[in-house]
Chains A and B, each alone.
Chain A
Amino acid sequence: KAGVTQTPRYLIKTRGQQVTLSCSPISGHRSVSWYQQTPGQGLQFLFEYFSETQRNKGNFPGRFSGRQFSNSRSEMNVSTLELGDSALYLCASSFEGWEETQYFGPGTRLLVL
């Protein structure tokens, strides 16, 4: 079965702009989690969505937001981009929740200039 897909794969933006990243989970998975990965900071948890509701949220500023649609697809939005937002953004899906085995997408590499 198809894995987790993320679009776009690469993105270059400038400071102050906003960006929307998309994630399509594995069919049947209802939980989608978003992570930010930067060198030295590991895999930082952003938030988890389940059945269109944000269920868990990491320690990120309000500029980072997300949503989930009825088909479990999820989007993540970052407003007023800062240089420090340059990172690999990973989406992961699972059947029921964050604490299960999560399947990762390939990620979206965002560069903020």
Chain B
Amino acid sequence: DQQVKQNSPSLSVQEGRISILNCDYTNSMFDYFLWYKKYPAEGPTFLISISSIKDKNEDGRFTVFLNKSAKHLSLHIVPSQPGDSAVYFCAASVRNRDDKIIFGKGTRLHILP
């Protein structure tokens, strides 16, 4: 039973365009969401997070949107750059009440020249 789902295993986007990575979750108790980026043979890098009290959080080219009613979040990367080619993981947790963080399976993003 996957509580955090990234339904697109891969995504290709033209350089300079917007990349949108999607993530769905099933547990309505989740109140904290994170995105990580991972290059091959390296550990994951924290990108951006959002608390359930917000519906948007922005950091440079990265914006995360949270739609609690749909149990959906998305990561927007604008403009997409070649260095953004990596695997992106969505993760969720129930802060201060739980001791788990649950990761999605990841979406491989290819930025095309």
Contact = CB atoms under 8 A, between A and B. Distances in A.
B36 interface: yes
A50 interface: no
Interface in A28-48: 41-48
Which of under 10, 10 to 19, 20 to 34, or 35 or more describes the interface residues of A? 20 to 34
Contact of B99 (A4, A46, A56, A59): A4
Most B-side CB within 10 Å, residue of A42, A44, A46, A57:
A42
Interface of A is mostly: strand
Interface in B56-113: 89, 99-103, 105-106
A43 B105 CA distance: 18
A47 B43 contact: yes
| The 4 nearest A-B residue pairs measured at CB | A58-B43, A56-B43, A42-B46, A45-B43
